[in-house]
Amino acid sequence: MEQLEEKIAREGEVVSDDILQVDTFLHRQIDPSLMDAMGKALAQRFADRGITKVVTVATGGIAPAVFTAMYLNVRCLIVDKNDTVPQDDRCFVSVTSRTQQKDFVLSIENGYLNEKDHVLIVDDFLANGNTITGVARLCHMAGASVEGIGICIEKCFQDGGTKLREAGYDVQSLALIRTMSETAISFRMQKEVLPDVF
């Protein structure tokens, strides 16, 4: 997605070998027109999958996920992310975020997802894929099927995308970063031939 790649090239800041800061338009500060365009683009890629719910994790995923859900005309469910195991009987999984170097417990409160649901997982970044793998496991535990994974920015030099695709998931990313350094960011070329459904 050209608009996103241009924004990353212009405003993104590579702060270490594997951390790209996009604070000016996606995290600390959000550019709503870009969120709208990203949501539309992700919804287009999964428009024919009968999606019943978009699922994301706070906080970076919320804005793109809500816009995606708007174009798919479904609600957006936010997975809880805590330091401790929930005290009620809900489904939960423990994950280690290698990017944030921290362990988390992801959970979905009972009643929000069931076997009738066809889920599209949306998140801001895909790096090592541990968080998204955890979200997919949670969806399966609730009985839902995961129809796809929509990502804003995938760091192709980390192995999350490969692992998730090898596991059979349809992973679609709007910007694919091939390499990055303090002085340059290069993108993997994408073929974007999409039906104009919206």
Q: What DSSP letter does each residue of 167-196 carry, written as one string?
A: TT--EEEEEEEEEE-SS-EEE---------
- For 138, phi then psi, to 5°, come to -60, -45
Q: Is the dihedral of CA 66, 72, 74, 79 positive or negative?
A: negative
Minimum CB separation of residue 148 from a copy of itself in Å reads 18
63 vs 180, beta carbon nearer a copy of itself: 63
Interacting residues with a copy of itself between 107 and 166 (CB under 8 A) = 109, 112
Q: What DSSP letter does each residue of 115-155 carry, written as one string?
A: TT-EEEEEEEEESS-HHHHHHHHHHHHTT-EEEEEEEEEEE
Site string for a copy of itself, 50-79 (x = CB under 8 A): --------xx--xx--xx-xx--x-xxxx-
Size of the site for a copy of itself (CB under 8 A): 28
The verdict on 84 binding a copy of itself (CB under 8 A) reads no
One of 28, 87, 183, 196 touching a copy of itself (CB under 8 A): 28
Nearest CA to 126 among 161, 94, 166, 77?
161
One of 30, 47, 105, 141 touching a copy of itself (CB under 8 A): 30
The verdict on 96 binding a copy of itself (CB under 8 A) reads no
Q: Contact residues for a copy of itself (CB under 8 A)?
A: 23-25, 27-33, 35-36, 58-59, 62-63, 66-67, 69-70, 73, 75-78, 80, 109, 112
